[in-house]
Amino acid sequence: MNNFVTYQVALDLVRALCPIVEQLRTNSSDLANQIERAGTSLVLNLGEGNRRAGKDRRRFFVMAHGSASEIRAGLDVADAWGWAVDAASAKALLDRQLRLLWGLTHPKPSPS
């Protein structure tokens, strides 16, 4: 899957989330676990979806998009609670990931 850019960005995002998840464990192990599960789900759904076809493929990409949105929400919650985490690089990767996933889940119609 080395050619699948969205998958590689997802792995980079998980790597960027590792220190954030560890920082969050001091404030909320539940939120840290939720972000960790969402990151794992993101990568696994992209991996499985890349091997599927048609509507089944899109379904996995939609689930991956949901997981990426869940990560964003988790980081927003941490910020709302005032839990200091350095999430700038993770948020930049997350923004890229969400744009890529939007393209996978909302394909442009082919010209007639």
Cβ–Cβ under 8 Å, residues 75 and 35: yes
Between 61 and 1, the more confident residue is: 61
Return the closest-CA partner of residue 47 out of 4, 93, 16.
Answer: 4
Lowest mean pLDDT among 6-10, 41-45, 75-79, 102-106: 102-106
Return the closest-CA partner of residue 107 out of 57, 47, 45.
Answer: 57
Residues 3-61: tens digit of each pLDDT: 589 999 999 999 999 999 999 999 999 999 999 999 999 999 999 999 888 888 999 99
What's the mean pLDDT in 101-106? 92
Domains recognised in the chain with CATH numbers: 5-105 (1.20.1440.60)
pLDDT at 53: 87
Cβ–Cβ under 8 Å, residues 48 and 33: no
pTM metric for this prediction: 0.90
